[in-house]
Chains A and B, each alone.
Chain A
Amino acid sequence: MTDIKTNILQFVEKNKISMIPRWKFILYSLLGMTLTVLAFVVLTFFGSMIIFILSKYGFIYLPLFGLGGIMHGIRAVPFVLFILTVVLIVIVEILVHKYAFSFRKPVITTLLTLTLSAIVFSSLLTLTPIHSQLRNYARMHSVDFISREYDRPLPIKEIGSMTVLRGTIVSTTTDEVTIKLFDETTQIVYASTSIKDNNLPDIEEDVVVLGHMVDDKFEAIKIRDADNFPFGEYMEKRHGRMMSR
């Protein structure tokens, strides 16, 4: 008998080492799965909430304004959030790496799976009326901590010297339009000559406006119909249909 075998069998016999009971592993697995599902649900919900709010404030529609709009959009991406997520996953990976001893997926698989699933499911969740309904419910029943989150002014509202607005046109004159924004406030938008030459949009149209604030006036550089955005019309119709049920 080798030394190792003798030692180990003696440890076993004298109960110096013992098997961790199966129920503990099952409990850890269940706990791990529950936390993963919970984290996924929370991540997906907040991800879709961000997409919803960005959509209602018009940021999602920036590609409608061409390359310049896309560049503004990229500058407005909250990279800090992404970096924080990556840092968090790396910390979790280090902890797991330190304490796990066997079969386990590597960090990159976790990272990619989590990020991709969260993006896909958040986008799908945004197609449902859940956020519109939740916001309306919170406003009607004075659940302030929820409605506040939906109506909170965006910290990234200003993109360089430009701003994007999204809303429904409530009135028009020869050189200005008034639009009702997502947070129920109205904003007067002054249109440049080039916009006026191409005709101002009609009342009740859902529009996205790129421009900049000069004092309390919003000077529009470009106005686009939000329905022209891929899936925009589909999303709005779907929202409207589901809300009317």
Chain B
Amino acid sequence: MDTQSDEQIVLLIRKGDKELFGVLIDKYEAKLTRYIKRFLQNEEDITDIVQNVFIKVFVNLQSFDVDRTFNSWIYRIAHNETVTYLKKRGNEKVSFLDFDTVFPHPFAKETADKGTLDKELEDLMTSSLSLIPLKYKEVLVLYYYEELSYQEIADVLHIPIATVGVRLRRGREQLEKHIKKEDHI
């Protein structure tokens, strides 16, 4: 089963081999838990959201387009579940429209840095990630922690690829700003 892609597994589940859904759960449970943990602290809430994500994935599996990546699809659902939870909780600003989405910087993709965490950035993210707005936080998490590509992040968040670059750059700037502020204090 290891040799089969997620998309092939989805096709087999659709054909009736429902037990195979366990393979997808094995593969994604830890990833999704880690991803949602970047936004929430309560373990019970995180478990509930992860479980809801898998339920939604199963229920809507017939709507998944196997020509696209399952990885992006499941992260999209996890993202939506998390955002819905944050909205319900009401202490996180979730914008409806965003200027970056409409007018992304044309050179954003080229100016963003590599997708691996260097020591400096890792320190920045560990200490200040919770302090920056959600729209930057989610891009940074998907890119640096989940190691999703620009295209995958664009699919997950429903934003243009150029906007991914803009948010990554601004997210880093925001992190640096917070560090500078703390140094002054």
- B interface residue count range (under 10 / 10 to 19 / 20 to 34 / 35 or more): 20 to 34
Tell me if A92 is interfacial: C-beta within 8 Å of chain B: no
In contact, A19 and B97 (Cβ under 8 angstroms): no
16 A-B interface contacts by CB (under 8 A):
A1-B22, A4-B25, A4-B29, A5-B22, A5-B26, A8-B58, A9-B19, A12-B21, A13-B18, A19-B61, A22-B14, A102-B76, A103-B155, A103-B158, A106-B101, A108-B102
Closest 10 CB pairs of A and B: A22-B62, A25-B63, A5-B25, A4-B51, A108-B102, A8-B54, A106-B158, A12-B18, A102-B76, A19-B61
In contact, A20 and B26 (Cβ under 8 angstroms): no
Q: Which residues of B contact A1 (CB under 8 A)?
A: 22
Within the complex, the shortest CB–CB distance from B59 to chain A, in Å, comes to: 6
In contact, B159 and A106 (Cβ under 8 angstroms): yes
Q: Which residues of B contact A22 (CB under 8 A)?
A: 14, 62-63
Q: Mark A4-40, 1 if CB is under 8 A from B, else 0.
A: 1101110111000111111011000000000000000
In contact, A19 and B73 (Cβ under 8 angstroms): no
Q: Mark B69-95, 1 if CB is under 8 A from A, else 0.
A: 000010011001000000000000000
Within the complex, the shortest CB–CB distance from A93 to chain B, in Å, comes to: 8
Within the complex, the shortest CB–CB distance from A26 to chain B, in Å, comes to: 9
Q: Which of A12, A24, A105, A106 contacts B58 (CB 8 A)?
A: A12
In contact, A105 and B97 (Cβ under 8 angstroms): no
Q: Which residues of B contact A9 (CB under 8 A)?
A: 19, 21-22, 25
Q: Which residues of B contact A20 (CB under 8 A)?
A: 59-60, 62-63
Q: Which residues of B contact A11 (CB under 8 A)?
A: 55
Do A101 and B80 contact each other (CB < 8 Å), given the known contacts A4-B47, A21-B62?
yes
Tell me if B168 is interfacial: C-beta within 8 Å of chain A: no
Within the complex, the shortest CB–CB distance from A28 to chain B, in Å, comes to: 9
Residues of B within 8 A of A (CB): 14, 18-19, 21-22, 25-26, 29, 47, 50-51, 54-56, 58-63, 65, 68, 73, 76-77, 80, 96-97, 101-102, 155, 158-159
Residues of A within 8 A of B (CB): 1-5, 7-9, 11-13, 17-22, 24-25, 101-108, 112
In contact, B50 and A108 (Cβ under 8 angstroms): no
Docked complex Cα distance between A199 and B19 (Å): 89
Docked complex Cα distance between A174 and B154 (Å): 69
* Residue of B whose beta carbon sits closest to that of A2: B29
Q: Which residues of A contact B101 (CB under 8 A)?
A: 106, 108
Q: Which of B26, B54, B77 contacts A102 (CB 8 A)?
A: B77
Docked complex Cα distance between A25 and B18 (Å): 20
Q: Which residues of B contact A12 (CB under 8 A)?
A: 18, 21, 58
Q: Which residues of B contact A4 (CB under 8 A)?
A: 25, 29, 47, 50-51, 54
Do A103 and B59 contact each other (CB < 8 Å), given the known contacts A4-B51, A108-B97?
no
Do A101 and B21 contact each other (CB < 8 Å), given the known contacts A2-B29, A5-B29?
no
In contact, A17 and B51 (Cβ under 8 angstroms): no
Q: Which residues of A contact B65 (CB under 8 A)?
A: 103
In contact, B25 and A19 (Cβ under 8 angstroms): no
Docked complex Cα distance between A25 and B55 (Å): 17
Do A7 and B155 contact each other (CB < 8 Å), given the known contacts A20-B59, A103-B73?
no
Do A8 and B158 contact each other (CB < 8 Å), given the known contacts A25-B62, A107-B97, A108-B97?
no
Within the complex, the shortest CB–CB distance from A148 to chain B, in Å, comes to: 39
Docked complex Cα distance between A18 and B61 (Å): 10
In contact, A17 and B29 (Cβ under 8 angstroms): no
Do A103 and B68 contact each other (CB < 8 Å), given the known contacts A5-B25, A11-B55, A18-B59?
yes
